[in-house]
Amino acid sequence: MSKTIRELSKTNGRVYVYLRTPELGERFLRQAEQEGFTFCDGAKPTARPAADVMAINHDGTINYVGTNGRIVYGSGATHIGDKKLNRIDYELHLQRE
């Protein structure tokens, strides 16, 4: 059985989730909301559209990944500053369920 989004948020370092299609993005946001996640300003995940790369945080929030984060994500870098970068392909994550 695969990990929940909540379990992934406890991973050491930054966690970026790749959402290949809009449908996967919607599914990710629904699951995040069901697990109690919000955006940093308190908005429910399903109140906003998904991006193709989203971050999940240790404090139970999600956020969009900005330009610098996208550059790091696509560069193959293994760290963001002193934090490990964990890349999760949500589609593969679901297939492990």
**DSSP string across 46-76:** GGS---SEEEE-TTSEEEE--HHHHHHHHHT
The answer to whether the CB of 17 falls within 8 A of the CB of 54 is yes
What does the pLDDT read at residue 2?
60
What does the pLDDT read at residue 1?
41
What does the pLDDT read at residue 97?
63
Using 70 as the pLDDT threshold, list the residues of the chain that sit under it.
1-2, 97
Tokens of 87: 């890349």
Phi-psi sector, 41: left (phi>0), alpha (psi -120 to 50), beta: alpha
Between CA 22 and CA 60 the distance in angstroms is: 22
What does the pLDDT read at residue 96?
79
Instruction: Give the pTM.
Output: 0.92
